[in-house]
Structures are given as C-alpha cells and as structure tokens.
C-alpha cells in the first residue's frame, strides 16, 4: 500500500510541475486542480483527512478563481478554509494547508503573472514543512520543484517583458567620440 500511496503523489508531482511551466494562468490553475485531486487521494490514503479535505476544497477554489475575479468571493473562500481547518484539524501541523489555502486563494483571485508565482513560492515553502512531517515523497518533490519551476517561469516572464520594451540602442557607427569636422572648421 505504501508504494501505491507514493505513486499517487508522484503522479500528482508530474502534473503539478507541468502546470507551473505554463505561461497561461488559467491553464496553470486547471492543471493544478487535477494535481490537487491526486494529492487529496494520497493524503486520504495516509489517513490525513484534514489535508485531504483542504486539497479537495482547493479544486473548488481553483475552478472558481478561473471563472470569477471577486474580492468578496475570495474572502468567502478564505473563510471556508478556516472552517474546514477548525472542524477537521487534529494536529497543529494540519493548519499549514489552511494557511496555504488562504494564501493561494488571495493569489488566484487577486494576482497574476509574476506576483502569482511569487505567492506560489511562499505557499510551497509552507507546504514543504507539512509534507516533510507526513513524509509525503511526492509532496516534498512537488514543493521543491514548484519553487524551482516558478523561479524559472518568473525569469521567462521578466525576459519576455524586457524583450517587448522598445528601447532604441544606437549602433557603434552612430556614436562618434571624435569632434566632427564642422567643429574644427569653425575654430
């Protein structure tokens, strides 16, 4: 059973890593939902039901965030994370997914591009502590990989922004460090 549980987390790992390579935020969030479903199943098999339920709620949150950009809805979803954590958490460590759910909600509903990915880096750092505690191999690999992938994707987004800026750089032949002949003739 142990190997099957870890296999599920590794499958989620592959999907989630792929999602963070996508430049399109909506496609990224849809792929994350599939990965969250798999990770929910993984934690349910480990009998960490608070985390499994938070991950199922992530799927609902992700789908809402793709369709609706509303601060009110984001706050309502954050409240839902708090309620789920309060009802299901049996250990303090199980509140970490609640925190990452709230951070992810604020990110998905209110951020995009580079800022969205920076919040993902923060969330993954918190998830890593949780996943290490429960020895979730796929979870830890997801966390480390998402941080690295997001750093790379942020680099690509910055590079794209820089390449889209029209800066006119003078050619070498246009720069003449010597005084022009007209200045010498005028003296």
Please say whether the beta carbons of 94 and 48 come within 8 A.
yes
What residue numbers bound the domain in which 80 lies?
2-163
Comparing C-alpha atoms, which of 71, 56, 55 is closest to residue 108? 71
74 backbone dihedrals φ, ψ, rounded to 5°? -60, -45
Q: Could you tell me if residue 180 is inside a domain? A: no
| pLDDT tens digits, one per residue of 77-123 | 999 999 999 999 999 999 999 999 999 999 988 888 899 999 999 99
Q: Could you tell me if residue 181 is inside a domain? A: no
Q: Could you tell me if residue 128 is inside a domain? A: yes
Instruction: Report pLDDT for 48.
Output: 94
* pLDDT of 172 over the 80 cut: no
Q: Could you tell me if residue 168 is inside a domain? A: no
* Region for 63 from its dihedrals, namely left if φ exceeds 0, alpha if ψ lies in -120 to 50, beta otherwise: alpha
Instruction: Report pLDDT for 176.
Output: 53
CA dihedral sign of residues 59, 62, 66, 69: positive
Global pTM?
A: 0.77
Q: Could you tell me if residue 52 is inside a domain? A: yes
| pLDDT tens digits, one per residue of 57-74 | 999 998 898 888 899 999
Q: Say how many domains are in the chain.
A: 1
Any idea how long the chain is? Answer: 187
Q: Could you tell me if residue 154 is inside a domain? A: yes
Q: Could you tell me if residue 184 is inside a domain? A: no
Q: Could you tell me if residue 110 is inside a domain? A: yes
Q: Above pLDDT 90, what percent of the chain?
A: 61
pLDDT band at 185 (very low <50, low <70, confident <90, very high): low
Query: What mean pLDDT comes out for the span 2-30?
Result: 87
Count the Cβ atoms, other than its own, within 10 Å of residue 103: 17
Residue in the structure block whose two tokens are 């502590």: 129
């Amino acid at each position: 059973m142990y190997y099957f549980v870890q296999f599920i987390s590794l499958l989620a790992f592959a999907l989630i890593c792929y999602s963070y390579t996508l430049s399109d935020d909506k496609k990224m969030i849809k792929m994350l939902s599939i990965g969250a479903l798999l990770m929910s199943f993984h934690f349910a098999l480990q009998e960490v039901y608070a985390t499994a339920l938070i991950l199922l709620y992530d799927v609902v949150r992700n789908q809402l965030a793709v369709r609706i950009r509303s601060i009110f809805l984001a706050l309502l979803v954050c409240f839902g994370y708090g309620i789920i954590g309060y009802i299901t958490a049996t250990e303090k460590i199980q509140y970490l997914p609640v925190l990452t759910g709230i951070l992810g909600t604020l990110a998905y509903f209110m951020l995009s591009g580079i800022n969205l990915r920076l919040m993902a880096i923060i969330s993954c750092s918190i998830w890593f502590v949780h996943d290490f505690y429960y020895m979730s191999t796929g979870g830890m690999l997801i966390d480390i990989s998402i941080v690295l992938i997001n750093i790379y994707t942020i680099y690509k987004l910055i590079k794209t922004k820089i390449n889209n800026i029209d800066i006119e750089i003078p050619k070498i032949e246009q720069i003449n460090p010597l005084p022009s002949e007209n200045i010498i003739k005028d003296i």
